[in-house]
Amino acid sequence: MAIVEHMTFNLARNPRDRHSLKVRRKLANLNPDYLETPIKQASTLT
């Protein structure tokens, strides 16, 4: 589980987003569309 948690934090640490990590986690909890954006951006980077 630690590996999965580490991967999700790496996805949450997006240099394009100017919010703090705490705010991004809260936004992802409240808005499912915001939750998908780091995953979509990560797939375009690779």
pLDDT tens-digit map of 1-46: 888 888 777 776 766 677 787 888 888 888 888 777 766 766 665 5
CA distance 42 to 11: 7
Residue 5 CA to residue 34 CA, distance in Å, equals 18
- Of 36, 42, 45, the residue nearest 13 (C-alpha): 42
Query: Residue 24 domain-assigned?
Result: yes
The pLDDT of residue 10: 74
Alpha carbons 14 and 8: distance in angstroms, whole number: 11
In a domain, 14, yes or no: no
Q: State the residue range of the domain holding 46.
A: 19-46
> Do 25 and 12 meet the contact criterion of CB atoms below 8 Å apart?
yes
| Number of domains composing the chain | 1
Q: Is the pTM of this model over 0.85?
A: no
Question: In the prediction, which pLDDT does 45 show?
Answer: 56
- Asked whether residue 46 is domain-assigned, the answer is yes
Domain-located, residue 38? yes
SS3 18: coil
